[in-house]
Amino acid sequence: MAARDRIVNSDPLESLDHARLARLLPDLLLIGQLIDRAGMPALLGEFGVDGMRDVAIEEWQAASPHYTRRMKEALSITGDGVAEIFKGFQLDVGAPPEFMDFRYAVTDHDHGEFWLDHCGALMDVEPMGDRLVTTMCHDIEDPTFPATALATNPRAVVEPVHRPPRSPEGRTPHCHWTVRIDPDSEPAAWPEPAVESASSRLIDFAFEPPEPRDTTGEGPRDDYAGPLLTDLSFPEFTAAALVRMTREVYLQMHLLAVGFHQSVRRRSDAETADRLLAYQATGIAGVAAGRIRDVLGVEGDAHGLAAVLDLHPLAGPTAYTGYSSSVSGDGASVTVTWDTAADAFADDTWMPLLARDGLRPLAAAAQAVDPHWTVERVPSDGSRVEAVLRLGDVPAKESDEVAVTRISTGAAFDFGPARTPLPITPV
């Protein structure tokens, strides 16, 4: 490796300025939501609508109780009331801001409600007919909202006021739910998928604290210990808080992949689970790379590609995935490496696929930055997964997996003007 090569071994988030961190975070939340969209077509083809429904339920049940707990700990969110449940929703890849426009009201510690002024997921599914709308808004949401809430209070009860199919047509808000804490009820047991995923190393994975930096010009919030806010304005958080949140959002994505793989494997076999997980990984890889490229505003050259890949879900969080990258001194190639001793290679997420010669997701990510990028695996003794990316002469055709994922309106979603966060006080 040439002495002039640029090498990334530490957390790439540490090198981003405050403004870029604040812009990246909502995009990653949206990318996380689209992971589900990336996998659903493969499930439909393999198991039909009912099988897709059941995997979607188990995928979110396996992930959200764990990642909600982790995010609350990362941001010093204490308490077990409705307001704290809603804080968990606000930092969940299942509810990216604006695309899933959750609004909240709190009556007291034990009572509140939320509604969606806009549901991007409904916009995706509604044209497909009432059966799929009912599958998503009834069959899937009924067991998955409670799975998220129980991480804050296992006596939480989440019930619909109304939800789609919309009647009358065009009804707003798109759905409306109440949440109450029932002190007389038996605490909800953790769903079986969450019990299985609990053996994953990422459940209790510990990060080193972000590096100290000059906080001049940064927002004053270093946690979310105060009142529930109508919206989160990410520029109002410190860079350290943004790094902590972003690391957790990456882990949310990996937990969804774990839940997906385990659910598919339970109803089929390991080979099928690997194949469908690879489909999911490839679909989201291309969409994610395009959105991250736009956030960074980089070109499609080697340095731009490396910058995108360093922040990609296939790489982040690097302490968990063992990822690093380098750009050759002449700027002609990018080398990416995953250390297979990293914890991610022991979990049912995307990393073991890469070790089993599955570099299609990496190619999809690179070709979303510039379709001329090619990927060549570097032979290894098994201690690492390594690939060299070079610009070729012929542009690659976008993969079917990425093209299908782009059907979601979230793939090209634009965030609107910044909203002013207002405290939500009990009424």
Position 10 confidence tier, pLDDT thresholds 50, 70, 90: confident
Full strand arrangement of the beta sheet holding 100-108? 100-108, 111-119, 175-181, 156-162
**Arithmetic mean of pLDDT, 370-374:** 98
Q: pLDDT for 329-344, tens place per residue?
A: 999 999 999 999 999 9
What separation in angstroms does the CA of 41 have from each of 279, 397, 401, 412? 9, 19, 9, 19
Token pair 């690492």 is found at 384
Contact present, 43 and 54 (Cβ < 8 Å): no
**Arithmetic mean of pLDDT, 21-46:** 96
Position 216 confidence tier, pLDDT thresholds 50, 70, 90: confident
Q: What average pLDDT does the chain have?
A: 95
| Percent of the chain whose predicted confidence (pLDDT) is above 90 | 93
* The pLDDT of residue 30: 98
Report pTM: 0.96
Cβ-based neighbours of 206, under 8 Å, separated by 6 or more = none
pLDDT for residue 75 is more than 60: yes
Q: pLDDT for 81-100, tens place per residue?
A: 999 999 999 999 999 999 99
Token pair 């998955």 is found at 144
Cβ-based neighbours of 203, under 8 Å, separated by 6 or more = 66, 197
* The pLDDT of residue 189: 95
φ and ψ at 174, to 5 degrees?
A: -65, -35
Q: pLDDT for 253-309, tens place per residue?
A: 999 999 999 999 999 999 999 999 999 999 999 999 999 999 999 999 999 999 999
pLDDT for residue 4 is more than 60: no
Contact present, 93 and 33 (Cβ < 8 Å): yes
**Arithmetic mean of pLDDT, 405-411:** 95
pLDDT for residue 251 is more than 70: yes
pLDDT for residue 379 is more than 60: yes
Position 215 confidence tier, pLDDT thresholds 50, 70, 90: confident
What sections of 75-140 are H helices per DSSP?
82-90, 120-125, 130-134
Q: Which of 109-118, 207-216, 408-417 has the lowest mean pLDDT?
A: 207-216
| Percent of the chain whose predicted confidence (pLDDT) is above 70 | 98
Query: Dihedral of CA 283/288/293/294: which sign?
Result: positive
Query: Dihedral of CA 258/307/298/5: which sign?
Result: negative
Position 214 confidence tier, pLDDT thresholds 50, 70, 90: confident
Q: pLDDT for 36-55, tens place per residue?
A: 999 999 999 999 999 999 99
Q: pLDDT for 151-207, tens place per residue?
A: 999 999 999 999 999 999 999 999 999 999 999 999 999 999 999 999 999 999 999
- Amino acid found at 122: L
Contact present, 179 and 82 (Cβ < 8 Å): yes
- Residue 176, both tokens: 């409306």
pLDDT for residue 398 is more than 60: yes
Q: DSSP states of 223-261 as a string?
A: S--S--BSS--GGGB-HHHHHHHHHHHHHHHHHHHHHHH
Cβ-based neighbours of 7, under 8 Å, separated by 6 or more = 1, 324, 325, 326
Residue (of 198, 188, 250, 154) closest to 66 by Cα position: 198
